[in-house]
Amino acid sequence: MPNDVAHFAIHADDCERAKAFYESVFGWTFEPWGPPDFWRIHTSPGAVHGALHQRREPLAGTGVRGYECTIAVNDVVAIAKAIESHGGTITNQPFVIETVGTLVTFEDPEGNRAGAMEYLASARSNPIGDGAQAT
């Protein structure tokens, strides 16, 4: 059995604001699912599904810790502009990772950090590229 990522979650203080951001910037759709303030995220057919839900803090003041998420996009410059125009903050301007593509990192309106990567055609089947170290 492969060890593929099967799910991701976005934690938000204001779920409606987070939904509006990801719908507007990435075109994702959201389906109410389970308890109140919980949605299933649909990115594209055949892709990993995620969840959007109210932020939980297991220990006072520590917040949720998790993996870094990078979203594959067709035009990283256009996405960077959309991120800013929809209330996000660019934390690193687009930069090239040799043999992989161009990455921009950002913080969404809820304070979650992620990346958006315009992969090179040669790297699409192997997002880490041939020997490149993504950091």
Residues 79-108: tens digit of each pLDDT: 999 999 999 999 999 999 888 899 999 999
Q: How many residues does the chain have?
A: 135
What is the rounded distance in angstroms from the CA atom of residue 105 to the CA atom of residue 116?
6
The reported pLDDT for the residue numbered 60 is: 52
pTM for this model (two decimals): 0.73
The reported pLDDT for the residue numbered 66 is: 65
- Report which residue type is found at 132: A
The reported pLDDT for the residue numbered 135 is: 35
pLDDT in tens, 21-76: 999 999 999 999 877 888 999 999 888 889 998 877 655 555 565 667 889 999 99
Domains of the chain listed by start with CATH number: 8-56+68-123 (3.10.180.10)
Decide: helix, strand or coil at residue 76: helix
Instruction: Name the burial class of residue 83, with classes exposed (0-12), middle (13-18) and buried (19+) by CB atoms within 10 angstroms of its CB.
Output: buried
The reported pLDDT for the residue numbered 88 is: 97
